Amino acid sequence: MRNALSWLLSILLHVAMALFLLHSVQLEPLFLEKILEVDLTQVEEPEPIIPMPVPEPVPMEQPVAEAAEELPAAAPLPMDKTVVLDDSPPLPPEPEPLAEPEPEPEAVEISTQKTLPPEEELAEDGKPKKIVVRKDITVHRGHEARFGRAMMGDYFSYSSKEFSGHFKTKDNRTISIIDARDTQYGRFLIYDSKNKTLRRLKQAFGKYVYTIGPSLYADEPVQGSVTFLAKNDRIERFILMTDDDRIAHYPRKVHVREQDTSFPGPAGDIDGSLTRPPYGDGHPGVVVVHGTACVDRGLVQGFTRSLSMFNLATLSFTPRGCSGDDPKPATEADLIEDAVAARAHMAGLSQLDAARVGLWGNGQGVPAALRAAAPAKAPFVVCLISDSLNPDAMPDDETLAALDMPVLWFITGRDTARWRSLIATLEALRDKDKKPFTIIVAPLKASQEVLSAEGDQSGWVEQVADNHASLAVSWIGNLKP
């Protein structure tokens, strides 16, 4: 009991002493604001930074500025000689099994009125069934359903006519798309100037993707594809992928300026198409006379666009009798009168150089162009003689001797030997009578695919493929005013 009492008194004594000491010591109160204050007056000197040694610059080749894309200028053609570009006959076509052309799918007209099969015409009560057709919606399939009507159906509404034209790559390679859907070919044609290949395009899926087959009339196996691309409401380029190239190409379209026109003629207004180079004014021009036959407009445009691509304006017109549903070609006399009227109209256009607007006789239109040269007061004439022209249809020697303007005689085709008599006559007029005639003999050098192309109007495709336009345009550019 005594020990417990001593322990209790000891504890109380220690507590009393602790309380006394706490009250006897005066501590300065601490405030949070002062605790957060930091003395920044003492600044230490930073350690010096030693820069890394700079390596000596390695001399590099200066980049060469990319020159603007220009077409190579051709050397002037001699006016007192006959130029033979290649007198070797084309190689015989290699035997190749041709696959049967795949029949085109028949167009099916979709109507809002549905016809039921005979067994479903009546309902159970014997009365005709009622068909409710909703007209406030549009049904889309395939890519239109996946990507949406607003994207594929409304925004991308380009006409397929814009697919045709001439497209150029960065290496000055020309790829031509020719609209031959209304001809015996039945489709768009694609010609590659580098590989010398001519193919038909088959629509794969959608509206802008086409496939390329192994030959002109075979679609399988697929060896390439063309995907058209648009920019600013027009077709700008396409993606070309073929087995012949390792990489894809993106040819850009040469946008020549085209417009439908009409001008007065002896028998009334004449419908035509004016094609001008992409830029500028004051270009030379030609009236294209292709004969009295009714030629599909897509083939004529493929040729005139190739001329305008080389800075030559063209005016092509529809021969009389070819505007209606029942074509009735007119006579050559009518064609001559219309050619004279077309040349007068074209020479009066302010955008062109009136002193350099001549006539271009193409194939069967060569005789009419020669006979129209004098009354039309043409400063020059280009005669592109092809397989479609019969030698017996040429004007007589008296008419040829009366020509006093420069004439380019461009004799081409598969068999140029049948024009030896004409060449001899022209050389005599040039050498003896000093006629300003330039004679070029150029047997067709196209690929076997172009040579074997069937069709009554295959000459238009050959002329685009063999690129006769560049040589003729260079001759026109070298004429003295």
Tell me: the pLDDT tens digits for 72-100?
445 566 666 777 775 444 444 444 444 45
Average pLDDT of span 302-317: 90
Average pLDDT of span 396-409: 93
Average pLDDT of span 372-393: 92
* Per-residue pLDDT, 185: 81
Tell me: the pLDDT tens digits for 314-338?
999 989 888 777 777 778 999 999 9
Separation between Cα atoms, residue 441 and residue 243, nearest integer Å: 35
Instruction: Categorize the per-residue pLDDT at 144 as very low, low, confident or very high, splitting at 50, 70 and 90.
Output: very low
Is the pLDDT at 176 greater than 80? The verdict is yes
- Of 375 and 62, the structure prediction assigns the larger pLDDT to 375
* Per-residue pLDDT, 442: 83
Is the pLDDT at 131 greater than 70? The verdict is no
Instruction: Categorize the per-residue pLDDT at 40 as very low, low, confident or very high, splitting at 50, 70 and 90.
Output: low
Average pLDDT of span 190-204: 84
Mean residue pLDDT of the chain comes to 76
Tell me: the pLDDT tens digits for 216-239?
888 899 999 999 988 777 888 899
Query: 417 burial class (0-12, 13-18, 19+ CB within 10 angstroms)?
Result: exposed
* Per-residue pLDDT, 468: 73
Tell me: the pLDDT tens digits for 336-363?
999 999 999 999 999 999 999 999 999 8
Superfamily of domain 82-87+256-477 in the CATH hierarchy? Alpha/Beta hydrolase fold, catalytic domain (3.40.50.1820)
User: 243, 197 in Cβ contact below 8 A?
Assistant: no
* Per-residue pLDDT, 396: 92
* Per-residue pLDDT, 44: 60
Tell me: the pLDDT tens digits for 98-113?
445 445 444 444 444 5
Check: pTM over 0.85? Answer yes or no. Answer: no
Is the pLDDT at 119 greater than 70? The verdict is no
